[in-house]
Structure 1
Amino acid sequence: MAITNLGFAAMLVILLQVSTLCAVAQHHGVMTLNGFEKGQDGGGPSECDGKYHSNKEMIVALSTRWYGGGRRCQKMIRITSEQNGRTAQAKVVDECDSSNGCKDSIVDASAAVWKALGLNTDIGEAPVTWTDA
């Protein structure tokens, strides 16, 4: 009986370690509205692909720290509004350059992301959390 309990305890420890390793980091920040089309406030083409994008796409630019030198380019993130709890997924296509005035901890999102989260773009800033999808 002791061997069975020991085996069970060892398996439980392994499962807890694996779940800890697989835990997804949750980031707290502020979502702002960005225009990704040519001539809009997003500036030049997106860093990840050198292209402009439609504001109808579910896309974001992340502040420099989170952008990570492009390691999140073309990857999906899951954004949750702290105001209403709604969640949406968006693709990272650009950097919000913190050395050029973008605050740290910013998720600069298209109008489509704001709409999917049920938020009014007129408010300009909204508290969010996000994780890698």
Structure 2
Amino acid sequence: MTVNGFQRGESGGGPSECDGRYHDDRLMLAALSTGWYAGGSRCLRMIRVTSTQTGRSVLAQVVDEWDSRRGCRDNIVDTSTAVWAALGLDTNVGEVPVSWSDA
């Protein structure tokens, strides 16, 4: 899992693929790699993200795609700072192992 900014002007770039809007990073949000994004079929649906380090799980809403066709890895769950906080993780680490499933 990596950390992403979903608000205007942050590292996430433009508005989300699912609804063309920016989103508040205080919300539980996720972007999935292209294959997992599945052509948008998971848009606005909830996924369960579980930290393999802390064992905590949270629900996050899929709002964007992490485009694997443009150089991004194909196994990334990119989430808001709220997800990191709820999982008890430090965003300064940059990348942590997680598992995820449809909720």
Q: Matched residues in 1 for 2:40 and 2:67: separation?
A: 12
Equivalent position of 1:8 in the other structure: none
1:103, CA displacement in angstroms? 0.8
**Could you tell me which residue of structure 1 aligns to residue 11 of structure 2?**
41
Cα distance between partner residues in 2 of 1:40 and 1:99: 21
What fraction of aligned residue pairs are identical, expressed as a percent?
63
Name 2:101's counterpart in structure 1. Answer: 131
The answer for unaligned runs of 5 or more in structure 2 is none
- Distance in 2, matches of 1:101 and 1:89, equals 27
- Note the C-alpha offset of 1:39: 1.1
Provide the TM-score with structure 1 as the length reference. Answer: 0.76
RMSD: 0.6
Q: How does 1:51-90 map to 2 (within 5 A)?
A: 51-90=21-60
Structure 1 residue ranges (4+ consecutive) displaced by more than 4 angstroms after TM superposition: none
Q: How big is each residue's C-alpha offset from its partner over 1:18-55, in whole Å with a ceiling of 9 and x where there is no partner?
A: xxxxxxxxxxxxx0000001111111100000000011
State the partner residue of 2:74: 104
Counterpart of 1:4 in structure 2 is: none
> Which residue number corresponds to residue 115 of structure 1?
85
> Separation in 2 of the partners of 1:117 and 1:102?
24
Question: Which stretch of structure 1 is more off in the superposition, 35-44 or 63-72?
Answer: 35-44
Distance 2:46 2:73 in 1: 21
TM-score normalized by the length of structure 2: 0.98
Structure showing the higher helix proportion among its residues: 1
Describe the superposition over 1:73-121 as per-residue Cα deviations: whole angstroms up to 9, x where unpaired: 0000000000111100000000000112221110000000000000000
Take 2:69 and 2:39, find their aligned partners in 1: how far apart are those partners? 13
- Alignment length (residue pairs): 103
